[in-house]
Structure 1
C-alpha cells in the first residue's frame, strides 16, 4: 500500500538562519535548519526542508510529492525597507495639488533609534522611495462622502503616464484622495496605463490599503511596488523548485495580520513582518495546548529580538505600523522588535571606552567570527561559544563546527584589550549587556500595557532563546 498523503511543511527565513518544520500524517514532526543566503533565498528554503526531511528519514521528493500544504514566512520585504535597499525605479500618480505628500512626514522620529530621536534635526528624513520629478498630479477629486466631484482628466493622465515611461519607470503607484470610498478613478487610471504599456507594474491604493489617511495609504501602495518584484520573483522561484520535487498545490505565504494567502495572489505589502507573526501564532497554539491564559513570546534570532503578547482578552493589532522609517496603512499583529540577537556585534566606544552590543548585526554573511567564514567583529554568538553556552562540535545539528579559538581571539583583540580586562570577563560582559537589553524590552513592553508579569507565562524560542531567555 502506498503511503497516505498529508505532510505539512512550513519554512521561516530569518536574517541568519532558515528553519523548517515538517509534520507527517501520523502527527510526528521533525525540524531542519540551514544558513540564510541573502542572494539565494530559494536555496535556504530547500536546504532547511531537506534537513527536516532527513531527520525523519525521508527524501524531500517523498515529502513534497505527498504534501497537502507548504507555507512560507519571510522578512524579505521588511529587510529591503529597513536596509534601504535599491528597488525598481517607480513613479507616482496622485490627485493634483498633493504631489508633495510623501515628502511631508507625519512622524519624523518614526523608526529612529533612541540616540537619533534625541537629536532629530541632525537625523534627517528617510530616503524618499520616489523622487519628486517622478511624481505627477492629475486633475480628479472624490469628496469625503465618496462622490466624484471632479471627473478624471484622462488626457492629463495619459500625458503624465507617457512622461513617466519616458523617464524609465518600472512601475507606477496610483493614490487618489478618498479613493477607498469610490475607486472608479484609480481603476480607470490603471486601465489606461495598461493600454499604454501592457505589463508595466501598477499598484492602486484602493486595493492595497483601502483606509483613511492618505500618507500611510500612499506609503503602503508604494512599498507594495517597491518590494513587489523581488518578493514575487522569489515566490515564483520557490514554487518552481517545489514543483520539481513533485509538489502540486499552491505555496502559502504568511501574512502580517495572521493567517496565510496563496503566493499567486498575495499583496507583497501584507508580508512585512510575517515571519515573526508565525512565532506569535505558535505561542497562541501552545497556550491552548497547555491551558495557559496569558503568555509572552520572546524570539531570539540571529539579527533581532521580538516580543509578542498573547493575552486572554484579545489580539493586539497595529492599525498604522512603522516599517523602517515609514508609516504604512497595512494592519499587523503587534510585535516589538529590537536589534539584539546572537549575531549582534559587540564593540567598544572610541572616545569613552565603554562596551556596547548592537544594534548592528553580522547577519549570515559573513556571520560571527566563530563561523570561520570571514567575520572579524565579535558577536554575541562568539561570547556564547567562549563561555561554553554553545557546543563547538554540535552546531546546526552537528552539521557545522565552530571555531572557538578565532572567537576568543576576536573578543581578546576587539573587546578585552581595549578595556584592559580578561577575555572571559569580556565575553560575560557582552552576554550581560545583550541580556539586559532583552530584559529591558520585556519589562517596558509589559509595563506599558499594565501587565503583571506574575500572571504571564514566558515562551522563549528562536535559535538563541534557550541561551538568553530561558
Structure 2
C-alpha cells in the first residue's frame, strides 16, 4: 500500500505517508492563501523521512486523500456568493421563519435561553432573492399543480438580474417526486446555457437531502450552494498542484459521513468537519481492530477541540439534523461536538464573571500565538503552556518554530495580570485549568447525553496539543485511562488514509415495525425492499461513475428507529439488506433493543409503545487496504528510563514549581514506564505526565497514560531545596 493522506487544519497541515511498510508523519503550517503550499511542505518532509522523492511518490501512490476545514471556516466567516432560492408558491417565508427557532440554533444553552437578546443570524439568502414558483406536489408525490414554464423563466430572469451567483431550487415534497425540480433545472439551462451562465451553480434540494421537511432541506441546499464556489476553487487549486507535480489519478475528498469520494461526486456540504471526522474514523478502526472497548476521541489541535464517541462494536452516532454554524441542515453526518478550545485559542478577560474566557476566537497559524514571534499580540493556550514550562522553546514543531517566551509573558502582563490581580505564573495556571475544565465538561456532557458512563470509556487523545492536556482533562472528567494512538499528532490524517470510497443515501420513511394497539408486525416487505433497492441503486451509480466495478460495491442497511413517540432516535446498523418475513422483522426489533439497552441501560426499552422507523439509510462502499494496528496491550515488567534533563515545571494543583525529569523520544519503548510528574518531548508533540499519572508505551508506538493510586501520587509532591527555588529561572521577569 502506498498512500498520501492530508488533514488541512486551521493551524497545521498534517500529512500521513504510507510507503509499503514505512509509515511516516509530517506537519507544516497551513498556508491559507494557497493550501497547496502547506501541503507541498508537509509532503516534502514526509518524503525526505521515507527516503523517497516527491516525484516518485506522486507517480506511484494509489491515492491522495484530503480532509479539510476550509468549508467550515468559510461559513463562519460568511464568505460566499449571493445565493438565490426558488420555492413553491406560498412558502416564500419558510427559510427566514426558520421554524421560529433560528435565533437559537448553533448557540449554547445559555445563549439560547437569553430571549431578550435573541437575534437571528444574517440569512444566507436575502428575502429579495427568494422567488416562488406556481406548482404543487402532495405528500405522496402526486402532482396537483404542474409547473408553469413561463412563470419559471420570469422568476429566474429576475434573480439573475438582481445579482444571483448561485440558485437553489427547494420545492415542497420534492423528496417524494423530484420531477418539478428537475424540470426547473432544464428550464434554467435552456434559458441560460452553461457557457453563458458560467460557473453559477444550480442546486436541487432533492439531490442534497432525501429527508422530508422543507426548511431543513432548503437550508441544507443553501449552505451547499454558499460553500460551492469556495470549495470548488480550493479543491481545483489542490488538484492542479497534484497534476503539475505528476499525479495523474483523481484526488479523493473526505466526507463528514465517514467516507470519501472524488471531487466530482462531492457536495461542498459533505466537506464540513471532514478533518475531525476522519479522526473519529481512525478511532473506530483502532477500537475494532484492538478490542479496547468504548472510546471517547479527543482531538485537540491548534484551533478547536473535537469530541467523538465510538461505542464498543463501532456503531456510529449520527446527527440526524446537525447544526453547522448557525444553520440547521439535513445530511447524514457522524456526530461530532466541537469546542473552540485549541492550542491557538485566545484567552480573554470576561468582565461579567471576573474570569478568563477561552476561545472561540483563535490566533490560527498567521500570526499565531504571541510566542510564535510573528506579530501576534493575543494570549493563547500555547502561551500559557510555554510559561508553565511544559514546552521546549527550541524543539517545538520539530524545531521549525522557535518559541519566544518573553512575548508570551508580555502579552499576559498587558492583557490579564492587572484585570485578574495575579502574576504571570498564576494567570497561566488559570488558563490551563480553565481550558482543561472546559473540555472535561464537554466530554462529560457528550457521554451523558448519549447514554454513556464516563468510567466505561477510554479517552483516545490525539492532535498536536492532545498529549499536553490529556491528564488535566481526564482527571476533571473522571476518566482513568488515556490512550495516545500511534502517530497521535497526525491521527486525523491517518484516519483519512483508512477511509473507504463511500456514499450514503437516505430517505424519510414512516414504517411501524410493531403496532402496539393491534399487536401486529410489519408485513409490507415489498414496499420496504423497494425503498432499499432504490437507495442501493443510487449508491452503486455514484461509485461506478468514479471508476469502481459494480460487483465490488457492498451495502450496509441502517435505520433511524425509536419507541413510539419518544424524541430519542437511534441509528441502528443491520447485517441483512432485505426483509422477507416475520423472522427478519423480529431481527430488526431485537437488534434495535440491544443497541438501545447498551446506550441507555438494560430495561429502558419500551416496545409496548411501538417500534417505528423514521429514516432508511444505505451506505454503499468499496473495501480497501487499511493501516494495520497490532495489539496495544501493556505488560508489567518495566523500568524507568534515564532522563535527559530536569526542568522546574508549574502544575495547576501545586503551589510551588516541581523539579521534573524530561525525557526524549528514546524513552518511549515498550519495556519502560515513566511516573509523573514528567515531560516527554518528541519531534511532533509533547507528553505531559502530571502528578498522579504514569506513562506506559506499547510495541506498536501507542502510549498509555494510567491513573496511579493516591499513595503513588503522594510521592510526586515537590522535593527540592530553597537554594534550588532561588536558582529557578523566574519566567515573569
Structure 1 residue 28, shift from structure 2 partner: 1.8
Matches within 5 A, 1:1-16: 6-16=1-11
Of 30, 35, 55, the match for 2:29: 35
Structure 1 residue 420, shift from structure 2 partner: 2.2
Give the corresponding residue for 2:193: 198
Structure 1 residue 387, shift from structure 2 partner: 1.1
Of 135, 139, 143, the match for 1:140: 135
Give the corresponding residue for 1:184: 179
| DSSP-derived class of the 1:283 partner | helix
Matches within 5 A, 1:41-440: 41-83=35-77, 85-106=78-99, 107-108=101-102, 109-199=104-194, 200-312=200-312, 314-350=315-351, 353-440=354-441
| DSSP-derived class of the 2:447 partner | helix
Structure 1 residue 51, shift from structure 2 partner: 2.3
Q: Is the 8 A contact 1:385 1:392 kept in 2?
A: yes
CA distance in 2 between counterparts of 1:337 and 1:325 reads: 13
Q: Is the 8 A contact 1:82 1:323 kept in 2?
A: no
Q: Is the 8 A contact 2:287 2:312 kept in 1?
A: no
Structure 1 residue 283, shift from structure 2 partner: 0.5
Q: Any gaps of 5 or more consecutive residues in structure 1?
A: 1-5
* Greater Cα offset, 341-350 or 214-223: 341-350
Q: Is the 8 A contact 1:227 1:268 kept in 2?
A: yes
| DSSP-derived class of the 2:122 partner | coil
Structure 1 residue 264, shift from structure 2 partner: 2.2
Structure 1 residue 376, shift from structure 2 partner: 0.4
| DSSP-derived class of the 2:357 partner | strand
Structure 2 CA distance for partners of 1:175 and 1:323, relative to 1, 3 Å:
same
Structure 1 residue 345, shift from structure 2 partner: 0.9
CA distance in 2 between counterparts of 1:238 and 1:289 reads: 33
CA distance in 2 between counterparts of 1:340 and 1:145 reads: 46
CA distance in 2 between counterparts of 1:300 and 1:72 reads: 19
| DSSP-derived class of the 1:378 partner | coil
Structure 1 residue 381, shift from structure 2 partner: 0.5
CA distance in 1 between counterparts of 2:392 and 2:192 reads: 57
CA distance in 2 between counterparts of 1:164 and 1:136 reads: 8
CA distance in 1 between counterparts of 2:51 and 2:320 reads: 45
CA distance in 1 between counterparts of 2:98 and 2:432 reads: 38
CA distance in 2 between counterparts of 1:135 and 1:145 reads: 26
CA distance in 1 between counterparts of 2:180 and 2:222 reads: 18
Structure 1 residue 114, shift from structure 2 partner: 4.1
* Greater Cα offset, 117-126 or 147-156: 117-126
CA distance in 1 between counterparts of 2:253 and 2:407 reads: 39
| DSSP-derived class of the 2:252 partner | strand
Give the corresponding residue for 1:3: none
Structure 1 residue 187, shift from structure 2 partner: 0.7
CA RMSD of aligned residues (A): 1.5
1:209-250 alpha-carbon deviations (Å, 9 max, x no partner): 121011110011111110001101111111111112211111
1:325-368 alpha-carbon deviations (Å, 9 max, x no partner): 10001120011111111111112234653222222211222211
Q: Any gaps of 5 or more consecutive residues in structure 2?
A: 195-199, 472-733
Structure 1 residue 277, shift from structure 2 partner: 0.7
CA distance in 2 between counterparts of 1:114 and 1:18 reads: 33
* Greater Cα offset, 390-399 or 55-64: 55-64
Please, what TM-score do these two structures have when normalized by structure 1? 0.95
Q: Is the 8 A contact 1:73 1:275 kept in 2?
A: yes
| DSSP-derived class of the 2:460 partner | strand
Q: Is the 8 A contact 2:74 2:230 kept in 1?
A: no
1:122-148 alpha-carbon deviations (Å, 9 max, x no partner): 131011001111110010111111111
Please, what TM-score do these two structures have when normalized by structure 2? 0.62
1:4-47 alpha-carbon deviations (Å, 9 max, x no partner): xx42011111111111100112x221111111222222222222
Q: Is the 8 A contact 2:22 2:50 kept in 1?
A: no
| DSSP-derived class of the 1:65 partner | helix
* Greater Cα offset, 74-83 or 379-388: 74-83
Across the two proteins, how many residue pairs are aligned to each other? 463
Structure 1 residue 116, shift from structure 2 partner: 2.4
Task: Flag the structure with more relative contact order, 1 or 2, with Cα contacts below 8 A and sequence separation at least 6.
Answer: 1
1:168-209 alpha-carbon deviations (Å, 9 max, x no partner): 211111011111111111111111111122233100001111
CA distance in 2 between counterparts of 1:50 and 1:141 reads: 57
The structure 1 segments of at least 4 consecutive aligned residues displaced by more than 6 Å after TM superposition are none
Structure 1 residue 446 and structure 2 residue 447: aligned?
A: yes
CA distance in 1 between counterparts of 2:354 and 2:310 reads: 40
Structure 1 residue 165, shift from structure 2 partner: 1.2
CA distance in 1 between counterparts of 2:147 and 2:46 reads: 55
* Greater Cα offset, 375-384 or 189-198: 189-198
Structure 1 residue 373, shift from structure 2 partner: 1.3
Structure 1 residue 60, shift from structure 2 partner: 1.9
